[in-house]
């Protein structure tokens, strides 16, 4: 397994979406260290180029099209998510983070 550099994505106080993070190159999977958060589902948005149009990331399997998303959590975990070859990422929370800004650590992984 080959991994990239760790990057930080921050969701601002009372926010639900981080700014764009360039993880350095296209990767198959993403490691995400989720800090303690106000209860929310965490998902990813991706774009094919910097400053591009970001969209929710979905995968397709035998069961159909599924969004890449956690169950509702309060954080304190590391999550490995499929990334499908994207480089430009945003972290999205389903609920505003009223307890303060939240910094997520991201690292791309490939075979």
Domain that holds residue 43: 2-110
Question: Could you read off the pLDDT tens digit of each residue along the chain, which spans 111 residues?
Answer: 899 999 999 999 999 999 999 999 999 999 999 999 999 999 999 999 999 999 999 987 777 788 899 999 999 999 999 999 999 999 999 999 999 999 999 999 999
- pLDDT at res. 17: 98
What span, in angstroms and rounded, lies between the C-alpha atoms of 96 and 106?
20
Strand (E) or helix (H) holding 87: strand 77-93
Residue in this structure with the two tokens 């965490």, named with its chain if needed? 42
- Residue 3 bridge partners (DSSP): 109
What span, in angstroms and rounded, lies between the C-alpha atoms of 25 and 38?
31
- pLDDT at res. 61: 75
Q: List the CATH number of the domain containing 52.
A: 2.60.120.260
- pLDDT at res. 65: 82
pTM: 0.93
- pLDDT at res. 13: 97
* Two structure tokens written together for 16: 């639900």
Strand (E) or helix (H) holding 44: strand 42-47
- The total of other beta-carbon atoms located within 10 Å of residue 8's CB is 12
- pLDDT at res. 1: 84
Domain count of the fold of the chain: 1
């Amino acid at each position: 397994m080959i991994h990239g550099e760790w990057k930080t994505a921050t969701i601002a106080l009372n926010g639900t979406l981080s700014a764009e993070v360039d993880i350095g190159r296209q990767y198959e999977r993403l490691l995400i260290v989720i800090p303690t958060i106000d209860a929310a589902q965490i998902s990813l948005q991706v774009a094919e180029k910097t400053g591009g149009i970001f969209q929710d990331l979905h995968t397709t399997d035998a069961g159909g099209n599924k969004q890449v998303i956690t169950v509702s959590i309060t954080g304190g975990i590391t999550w490995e998510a499929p990334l499908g070859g994207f480089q430009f990422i945003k972290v999205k929370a389903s609920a505003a983070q009223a307890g303060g800004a939240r910094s997520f650590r991201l690292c791309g992984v490939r075979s």
